Chains A and B, each alone.
Chain A
Amino acid sequence: MKTIRTTAIAAALILGVASGAQAATDAKEPETRDWTFNGVFGYYDEAQLRRGFQVFKDICNACHGLDYIAYRNLQAIGYTEDEVKAIAAEFEVRSGPDEDGEELNEDGDFLTRPALPFDKFNNPYPNENAAKAANGGSLPPDLSLINKARIGGANYTAALLLGYPEEMPEDAHIPDDKHYNDYFPGNAIGMPQMLFDEVVEYEDETIPMTAEQYAVDVTAFLQWAAEPELEERKSLGVVVMVFLFVLTWLFYKVKQQVWRDVH
């Protein structure tokens, strides 16, 4: 038994490494995009994040959760307190137990109430098994950290969302429940193409309602979800760097001064 386990771990290691190499050769390299949050002076475009949130709410949230974000956090991307309350109220969350200790109503369903700003984002499924059952065995991952949890980050997410070619290569073998994607390791992904032109209505008429635009906007929103501290981090970093350059220059001058007579 113990030997079996040890062997299994060793085999998992070797096979894992091999399949990793295999997957790496199947998937295309995502193109590098020019994000506002790139670089030392990176920032978030709040209008873009709100558009991205709209895409997330209308499309992604049908299958994906956002466990680490509460509705109140949306104030950070420019929604007012009242708007946040209205957004939260669109969703139902479990409210039980009630005064009598009951978690279920007469029909045996969980008691619910409209969500409040302090609630975490509505998860579309009650648990992982329900999520898998509804998606042909694939588990739609939580998206709170998706841009940090994938090699390529935002570039990868955007590429993946758009990576469904009209015709898949002839030599690709994709199981019935799966879909072909250029950028997904192994190419067989559970998620079908979700973004098409004009599936989400933008208020701002100057922004094109294309799949490309949706993908970029929702990816920017997910970047914010993964790194809400990014703007504060980078702007503080610039100040810290300027301070350190001056301080270090002073240290250097003092050092030279102190050492001038040493032979």
Chain B
Amino acid sequence: MSHPTKQFKNPVLNWIEYRLPIFSLIDNSVGSGYPTPKNLSYWWNFGSLAGFVLVIMIATGILLAMQYTPHETMAFSSVEHIMRDVNWGWLIRYLHMNGGSMFFILVYIHVFRGVYYGSHKKPRELLWIIGVIILFIMIITAFLGYVLPWGQMSYWGATVITSMLSAVPVVGDDLTIWLWGGFTVDNPTLNRFFSLHYLLPFTILGLVILHVWALHEHKSNNPLGIDVQGPQDTIPFHPYYTVKDLFGVGVFLIFYLYFVFFAPNFFGEPDNYIPANPLLTPPHIVPEWYFLPFYAILRAFTVDIWGITAKLQGVVAMVMAVLLLAALPWLDGSRVRSMSFRPRSRIFFWTFVANCIFLGYLGGQVAEEPYVILGKISTAYYFAYLLIILPFVSRTEDVDEVPESISAAVSKQ
């Protein structure tokens, strides 16, 4: 092998490095050997923060699994056992519970940042697609996890979401029974959801390694969206971005732990502190806040068209709302990456962001006017932006003058 190995004074380190060049791997990934654009803004902190939360989620999750019992008669009380009798159990559970919400806040910002600065565009398409797959698996993992405390919202949320599968033509009902392991959400469902909720985070971890690997092949994008042309455009990741990321971690922890210690149930539903009761439907079934935009899209389809049920339309639309993001590198046809130089795209982008937040608001409302019609309009804009507006505007708009190089733009400031 011809790749450079590091030299150390310590012979033990040299011995290891010669046989397994792990130190140079680390150095080239997050150390001084990884050249990074010098102009990254704080929007670039969210990727590493998401990785940080993934580690917290896995660590707290493993600890919770040691005390949790995935059985319909014991799940709820085992969670209360964790909250009351296990040493620091309340802290570990609240870290995990709020960590889920934090994960989505960070990842949503991370995704919007990528859309705005064209981080998905050539040559980073595959990096982006892996990211969309991570988001998709994250959504499934979070849904499975929400079922585990076996409260009212766990049970009825699981019932509503899993019975969406019955919308699949011909085999839908059989598929649903297969997923449930019975004729309704029941103990077998809880057992398999627990098993999968433990498995999928490690799948995410594997995909994150691919995500970072792909990132390092062509290096980070940057707010100008132009390529690195030489060493004058870059600074080593360590110490510059390690210390900047650490500052980000500090700010994030203040935000995250505020909720953990002072408002731990802020993101939750009170109904989930009522044990699951298959005979009593809660008055208002809502998913966790981070699913509300997708829930609004699901409910926006109310009329059967050409024999295709409204339910099936909604389910397909909801899944496509996530998966369509994978096509962004081709939907956005601009020759300029960053929207900083694309005034018209910028307007539609921020409208899109506002619309996503509005969809979230609508997803939490009851299914009555004016929310139904607003949900339809808002859903229409979601897809129109991705399928019509962005492809058209990105190919036709006048772009501002793009700086020649990163170093030229930075020194001008």
Contacts and interface: CB of A to CB of B under 8 A. Distances in A.
Interface stretch (A56-64, A80-88, A199-207, A241-249): A241-249
Contacts of B253: 244, 248
A255 B244 contact: yes
A144 interface: yes
A6 B247 contact: no
Given A17-B284, A233-B90, A151 B270 contact: yes
Interface stretch (B76-84, B201-209, B385-393): B76-84
Contact of B270 (A9, A12, A149, A185): A149
A228 interface: yes
Contact of B368 (A21, A141, A153, A262): A21
Interface stretch (B101-109, B258-266, B327-335): B258-266
B77 A68 contact: yes
B257 interface: yes
If over half of A's interface residues share one DSSP class (helix, strand or loop), that class is named, otherwise mixed; here it is helix
Interface string A1-27: 010011001101110111111010000
B159 interface: yes
A244 B273 contact: no
Interface in B228-258: 235, 239-240, 243-244, 246-247, 249-251, 253-254, 257-258
A251 B159 contact: no
A123 to B, nearest CB: 14
A153 B265 CA distance: 11
B10 interface: no
B73 interface: no
Interface residues of A, number: 49
A173 interface: no
B410 A263 contact: yes
Nearest to A253: B247
A229 interface: yes
Contacts of B166: 2, 6
Given A20-B282, A241-B254, 16 more contacts: A2-B173, A16-B282, A17-B368, A21-B284, A149-B270, A149-B274, A185-B283, A229-B84, A237-B258, A248-B251, A251-B243, A254-B246, A255-B246, A262-B38, A263-B410, A263-B411
Interface of A: 2, 5-6, 9-10, 12-14, 16-21, 23, 40, 67-68, 141, 144-145, 148-151, 153, 185, 226, 228-229, 233-234, 236-238, 240-241, 244-245, 247-248, 251-252, 254-255, 258-259, 262-263
20 contacts: A2-B173, A5-B183, A9-B163, A17-B284, A20-B282, A20-B283, A21-B366, A23-B283, A144-B80, A148-B265, A149-B274, A228-B84, A233-B90, A233-B261, A236-B261, A244-B253, A245-B254, A251-B243, A254-B247, A258-B240
